[in-house]
Amino acid sequence: MLVMVKFCHAIFSFYFSSLREGIGKEEMKKNNIQNSELPYDKFLSLGPCALTEAELIAIILRTGTKDCPALVLAQKILSLAKGREPGLNSIHHLSLEELMEIPGIGHVKAVKIKCLAELAVRMAKEKALQTLRFDKPVTVADYYMEKLRHQEKEVILLLLLDNKLNLIEEYMISLGTVRASLLSTRDIFIEALKCRACHLMLLHNHPSGDPQPSRQDILITQKIKEAGELMDIPLMDHIIIGDGCFISLKEKALL
């Protein structure tokens, strides 16, 4: 009889212990889900403007892990700056591999974050298109700003325009450092003649964020300007893009 009582006691102890453990796990799971859904509920009740950047990213991530809710993952992403100020703009400079170094960020979530950054670039470009005029340097800089400001290397774009200053073609003619050996005057005018362009324009970025032209920038610009005058295809401007700022060599009387 005593053995039976001890056996029943052991069974009930095991049952209630398992029950408590199960309730604990369910409670933890519930809390994790609630934490990940808080930004979503906030969005529904207050709208997107009321959300922080981390909360907006948390909604896109949708879920976190057992130990790290989506909101915490989002905060870790924003703090993962690559030699720049932490925040949304730092996402442009992070690779998939760097994002996936964060525990809880797999390939799918990393791709979502990079797509978010690309959407931001395209939305800014689409908005700037409404006011784009190639005889107004500020509108050209606005249009290409998001495309160029986040590049890790110098990118040189050649814009070929017709006689009404409409864009015919856009070419990336160099990737790297602006040097005469990389920026061929001959190649520029071959492309201009192919498209029967009447005007041309150059843009390039400075990855440092400072758009001040170097001596080499000015020399190359003068060389292309002189060639354009001989070919009757004038160089309208050379615009240098920095981090949220720009310089027009025409406006600076350097063209």
Q: What is the three-state SS of 67-136?
A: CCCHHHHHHHHHHCCCCCCCCHHHHHHCCHHHHCCCCCCCHHHHHHHHHHHHHHHHHHHHHHHCCCCCCC
**Residue 31 pLDDT:** 46
**Residue 177 pLDDT:** 56
pLDDT reading at 8 higher than 80: no
Q: What is the DSSP string of the chain?
A: -HHHHHHHHHHHHHHHHHHHHHHHHHHHHHHHHHHHHHHHHHHHHH-GGGS-HHHHHHHHH----SSS-HHHHHHHHHH--SSS-SSGGGGGG--HHHHTTSTT--HHHHHHHHHHHHHHHHHHHHHHHTT--TT-HHHHHHHHHHHHTT-SS-EEEEEEE-TTS-EEEEEEEEESS--TTTS-HHHHHHHHHHTT-SEEEEEEE-TTS--PPPHHHHHHHHHHHHHHHHHT--EEEEEEE-SS-EEETTTTT--
Gap between the Cα atoms of 185 and 242, Å rounded = 24
Class of domain 131-248: alpha beta
Q: Parse the chain into domains and list their residue ranges.
A: 27-122, 131-248
Gap between the Cα atoms of 27 and 104, Å rounded = 21
Gap between the Cα atoms of 41 and 55, Å rounded = 11
**Residue 152 pLDDT:** 83
* Mean pLDDT lowest among 7-11, 75-79, 84-88, 215-219: 7-11
What is the mean predicted confidence (pLDDT) over 49-60? 92
pLDDT band at 58 (very low <50, low <70, confident <90, very high): very high
Gap between the Cα atoms of 153 and 150, Å rounded = 9
The reply to whether the predicted model has a pTM over 0.95 is no
- Cα within 13 Å of Cα(174), Cβ side: 19
| Residue with tokens 């993952």, as numbered in its chain | 73
Of residues 168 and 86, which shows the higher confidence score? 168
